[in-house]
Amino acid sequence: MRKTSRIRLLAILLAGAISAGQAFAQAPEERLVPAPKRAAGDGLGPFKTLVIRGAIVIDGTGAPPVGPVDIVVEGNRIAAIRSAGTPGLPLRPNRPPEKPDYEIDATGMYVLPGFVDLHVHAGGPPKNPEAEYPYKLWLANGVTTVRGVSLAGNEFTVREKARSASNEIVAPRIWNYQRPGSGWDQGQVDTPEAARAYVRWAAQNGVDGLKLGAGRPEIMAALLDEAKKLGLGSTAHLGQTGVAQMNAIKAARLGLGTVTHFYGHFESLLKDHVVQTWPVDQINDDEYMRFGQVSRLWNQIHPPGSPEWKAYLEEHKQLGTTFDPTMTIYSAGRDLMRMRNAEWHATYTLPSLMDFYAPSRVNHGAYWYYWTTWDEVAWRNYYIRWMQLLNDYKKIGGRVTTGSDSGFIYQTYGFGYTIELEMLQEAGFHPLEVFQSATMNGALTLHEPKGQPIEFGVVRAGLLADMVIVDQNPLENLKVL
Ligand SMILES: [Zn+2]
């Protein structure tokens, strides 16, 4: 009797400690400094008429390069794409328009649609105090559109999205995805009714889509059903604590748009169990265990090419699921030393961000306090299977996109995105397929839930003038990016 009451007391104390801890933690994004107003000299334009002369175009649809062409831009849109001559011969002289407001000589250069990063966060202290830092690194790496999942809190993101759209700040185009409950003051989203109420509120308050976890089935069903009715998109990180009841195929059957990261795929393909066979001392909140053990899934699944593997991909294709793998963000796991010593850290990674990456039991993604050869080998094996899954999905016509999730695990904003492109090539994608994923596929994934045609993501007359110019051939070497 006495013993029972002591145990009860202990349980109550623990519950108290947990809620106090949650109240204490202030999300870093709430202290993020908005970007400063665009200063004189921060870019050029806008121009009434701008011409990019003599370029080779990779249009983003998967088509081979064409050119040389002149791309005529009027205001914010591509007005025309015209032949500028014949490959191997001098450009044809006296090409219209004769007196544009501004000209870019892109002779011998490559023009592509601006890249779409479907998985970003803008950070916040202690990592990077200011939003200007990721914005400019994204742009400098060719990322002109980001899907924040979330970029930061809802109010902040709605404001920054509008400021970016009106050209008041130097930042990519922002799409605002938020977690259920974000920005809402009407309590927990823990019933189907609350889930629907939140989604209705979100649709009225500047939210473009939902960032979900592996929630309870009845709540996921309500969130996804309401989101679909109201034209909101959805993407889910189907984390380990919920994946046993909400893996990727179950979520897709409920209407999930995008599976982000790898979580949920292999849990849908388990061979002998319905859960991953965790070690008996596994504690999910120990990030070394969490990130070290998840890779051990690689040989607990129906193997590549098996009937179950094929059926899994086929069903996702029928359901229209997008795979947004973010391979880059876990890539330090297969070769920690490489990412820790990446050449760009010295010049571009803020000291405070570098500190955040350093081994720590507290900082998210800094689980290096015990990282072994076993862990790296398991991750390498994991990547082989994961890449096969992505490439097989692409081969049957499934949509694969690009996302980075930088700001953790030695992946610095912008640079991490280019690594994602290289990893897709490693997975078996031709660079033209890589760019299709990075541009058109990303734009389709953003626009489709709204029932709208794409506005960017392809270099085509009529679409927004959202392009990147590269001075070398990126098909020959993605590193030129
Ligand atoms: Zn993320």
> pLDDT tens for residues 82-141?
999 999 999 999 999 989 999 999 999 999 999 999 999 999 999 999 999 999 999 999
Distance 181 CA to ligand 1 centre (A): 17
Band of pLDDT at residue 15, cut at 50, 70 and 90: very low
Is the model's pLDDT at 9 over the cut of 70?
A: no
Instruction: Give distance in angstroms: CA of 256 to centre of ligand 1.
Output: 17
Distance 237 CA to ligand 1 centre (A): 8
- What is the per-residue pLDDT for 31? 87
Give yes or no for residue 247 having a pLDDT over 80.
yes
Q: Give distance in angstroms: CA of 9 to centre of ligand 1.
A: 37
pLDDT at 464 over 70: yes
CA of 120 to the centre of ligand 1 (A): 6
- pLDDT tens track for 161-214: 999 999 999 999 999 999 999 999 999 999 999 999 999 999 999 999 999 999
Ligand 1 centroid from CA 27, angstroms:
14
pLDDT given at position 302: 98
Please give the mean pLDDT across all residues of the chain: 93
Q: What is the mean pLDDT of residues 339-366?
A: 94
Does the pLDDT of residue 26 top 90, yes or no?
no
Looking at the chain, the whole-number percentage of residues with pLDDT higher than 70 is: 94
| pLDDT at residue 429 in the model | 98
- CA 118 / ligand 1 centre spacing (Å): 10
pLDDT the model gives residue 28: 59
The radius of gyration of the chain's CA atoms, rounded to the nearest angstrom, is 23
Q: What is the pLDDT of residue 27?
A: 60
Give the pLDDT mean for 39-67.
Answer: 95
Helix crossing, 431-438 with 440-447: angle to 10°? 30
Q: Lowest-pLDDT range, 164-178, 303-317, 322-336, 353-367?
A: 353-367
Ligand 1 centroid to residue 218 C-alpha, Å: 24
Centre of ligand 1 from the C-alpha of residue 315, in Å:
26
